[in-house]
């Protein structure tokens, strides 16, 4: 199969990443998911005119002449706390003591904040006039009855969850989280809590990938491991697919004698979409369809695995969850040191990005080998350097994907 460009790989993946079903979930479970229904309010928020301040509800005409030097004295008729219903209308030359959030009594058209009074209990001196409507939050000023509050496709963050709660929506329709299984291949990998024998390494990919899957908001269905053996790999792939919409395989997609994943996928009848992307890290990235299900073959090197997840798998998962914005924010940053690379490969360079005087600066994290996972712990961005460039000089601009920030929307 021909090697393809990163953009083409991304396009092919997204073209095959389809929306999952709509499900109804408890409001608090919807964080990070995408709304799958239109929300029209059938009530006003706030539901009634209420005070924006602790103070005194008045008729503005009664206090028109009030000032510090010439205060107006009003009789304090009664008091209203938040949560109470307004009992009686306001009489003339009177004030009603009122707390923030309490309903505005009939006839009152302003609230004098208590700092502009002497805080009197039976009579109060008012030191300031007020315009009609001052310090009053109107019914429906946030959301009016009949208003479209959120559309399908809107990402559910804390604010959206708050607004749905204010509308009394304890359940909400969202696009389901894709179920994701992880399969790690390799005779050398052992569970992380077992003693290491000669030639073995711990299965770190299972953990970094699991964390990435959870952070993307997908439904992690655990990980399994398999030896470098064709039949065992076939069985493990089938088993992984039986419990997931998306299977992520690590290792075994290269050209080594023990790389069985491609052969296993072929003999299971998968449709190969591509293998090999002109990039570093992650050149042997592979992608298949198995019916409706997506299968990613990520190269086993720990950095390759993580970068391929970030650049290719994550956008696909977000798309399946109904998101419209699939990519991290991209910024132009000035590279702080020379970076040399080979031609004909796009590079994803782990960089530390910072903002200084309104511009971004990016510094490579150090050695960029695809086994150097420390480079990922230091980085907050991936600088993309095109295939046809072999040297970026310090001071030149590069495009950086800000991998710590949510995709913009
Ligand atoms: P492979 O893609 O199978 O050729 O593996 C490439 C490199 O990644 C080898 O050095 C492996 O030891 C390493 N590797 C593969 N799988 C894992 C894993 N699950 N955790 C950590 N390193 C791995
Ligand atoms: Mg291997």
**pLDDT tens track for 328-342:** 999 999 999 999 999
**pLDDT (0 to 100) of residue 355:** 96
Burial 327-365 (b: 16+ CB within 10 A, else e): ebeebebebeeebebeeebbbbbbbebeeeeeebbbbbb
Residue range 7-33: mean pLDDT, rounded: 96
User: Measured from the CB, is residue 282 less than 6 Å from ligand 1?
Assistant: no
User: Measured from the CB, is residue 369 less than 6 Å from ligand 1?
Assistant: no
In angstroms, the CA 321 to CA 342 distance is 37
User: Measured from the CB, is residue 34 less than 6 Å from ligand 1?
Assistant: no
Is residue 341 within 8 A of residue 241, CB to CB? The reply is: no
**pLDDT (0 to 100) of residue 229:** 97
Assess whether pLDDT exceeds 90 at residue 386.
yes
Tell me the pLDDT tens digit for each residue of 123-159. Answer: 999 999 999 999 999 999 999 999 999 999 999 999 9
Assess whether pLDDT exceeds 60 at residue 178.
yes
Q: Which of 211, 227, 250, 263 is the pocket-test mutation for ligand 1 (most atoms within 8 Å of CB)?
A: 250
pTM of the model: 0.89
Pairing of strands 72-80, 123-126: antiparallel
Is residue 178 within 8 A of residue 315, CB to CB? The reply is: no
Is residue 303 within 8 A of residue 370, CB to CB? The reply is: yes
At 88, the pLDDT band (50, 70, 90 cuts) reads confident
Q: How far is CA 187 from CA 163, 170, 211, 251, in A?
A: 51, 49, 23, 10
Q: For residue 204, give the ligand 1 atom closest to its CA.
A: 20
Is residue 177 within 8 A of residue 321, CB to CB? The reply is: yes
Q: For residue 304, give the ligand 1 atom closest to its CA.
A: 8
Q: For residue 259, give the ligand 1 atom closest to its CA.
A: 3
**pLDDT (0 to 100) of residue 109:** 98
Ligand nearest to the CA of 300: 1
Q: For residue 301, give the ligand 1 atom closest to its CA.
A: 8
**pLDDT (0 to 100) of residue 87:** 83
In angstroms, the CA 409 to CA 403 distance is 15
SS3 content of the chain, % helix, strand, coil (to 5): 20, 35, 45
DSSP state of 407: P
pLDDT cut 90: percent of the chain above it:
96
Enumerate residues 6+ apart whose C-beta is below 8 A from 204: 192, 302, 373
Tell me the pLDDT tens digit for each residue of 41-79. Answer: 999 999 999 999 999 999 999 999 999 999 999 999 999
Please name the residue ranges forming H helices in 24-170: 158-166
Q: Which of 184, 199, 251, 371 is the pocket-test mutation for ligand 1 (most atoms within 8 Å of CB)?
A: 251
User: Measured from the CB, is residue 367 less than 6 Å from ligand 1?
Assistant: no
- Count of other CB atoms within 10 angstroms of residue 91: 15
User: Measured from the CB, is residue 201 less than 6 Å from ligand 1?
Assistant: yes
What is the whole-number distance in angstroms between the Cα of residue 302 and the centre of ligand 1?
Answer: 7
């Amino acid at each position: 199969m021909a090697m393809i460009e990163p953009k083409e790989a991304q396009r092919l993946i997204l073209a095959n990443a389809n929306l999952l079903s709509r499900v109804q979930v408890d409001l608090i479970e919807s964080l990070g998911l995408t709304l799958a229904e239109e929300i029209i309010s059938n009530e006003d928020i706030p539901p009634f005119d209420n005070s924006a301040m602790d103070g005194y509800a008045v008729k503005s005409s009664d206090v028109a002449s009030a000032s510090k030097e010439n205060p107006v004295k009003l009789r304090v008729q009664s008091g209203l706390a938040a949560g109470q219903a307004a009992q009686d209308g306001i009489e003339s030359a009177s004030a009603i003591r009122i707390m923030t959030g309490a309903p505005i009594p009939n006839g009152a058209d302003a609230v004098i904040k208590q700092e502009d009074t002497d805080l009197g209990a039976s009579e109060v001196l008012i030191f300031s006039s007020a315009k009609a409507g001052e310090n009053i939050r109107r019914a429906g000023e946030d959301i009016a009855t009949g208003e479209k509050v959120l559309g399908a496709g809107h990402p559910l963050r804390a604010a959206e969850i708050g607004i749905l709660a204010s509308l009394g929506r304890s359940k909400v329709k969202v696009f389901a989280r894709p179920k994701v299984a992880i399969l790690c291949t390799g005779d050398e990998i052992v569970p992380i809590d077992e003693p290491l024998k000669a030639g073995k390494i711990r299965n770190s990919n299972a953990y970094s990938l699991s964390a990435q899957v959870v952070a993307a908001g997908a439904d992690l269905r655990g990980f399994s491991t398999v030896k470098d053996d064709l039949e065992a790999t076939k069985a493990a792939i089938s088993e992984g697919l039986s419990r997931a919409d998306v299977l992520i395989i690590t290792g075994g997609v290269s050209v080594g004698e023990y790389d069985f994943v491609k052969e296993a996928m072929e003999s299971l009848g998968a449709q190969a979409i591509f293998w090999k992307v002109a990039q570093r890290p992650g050149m042997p990235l592979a992608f298949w369809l198995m019916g409706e299900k997506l299968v990613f073959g990520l190269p086993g090197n720990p950095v390759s695995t993580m970068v391929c997840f970030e650049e290719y798998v994550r956008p696909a998962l977000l798309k399946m969850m109904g998101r419209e914005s699939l990519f991290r924010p991209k910024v132009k940053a000035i590279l702080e040191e020379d970076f040399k690379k080979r031609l004909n490969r796009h590079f994803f360079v782990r960089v530390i990005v910072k903002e200084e005087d309104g511009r971004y600066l990016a510094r490579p994290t150090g050695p960029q080998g695809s086994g150097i996972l420390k480079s990922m712990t230091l980085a907050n961005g991936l600088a993309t350097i095109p295939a046809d460039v072999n040297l970026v000089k310090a001071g030149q601009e590069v495009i950086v994907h800000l991998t710590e920030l949510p995709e913009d929307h």
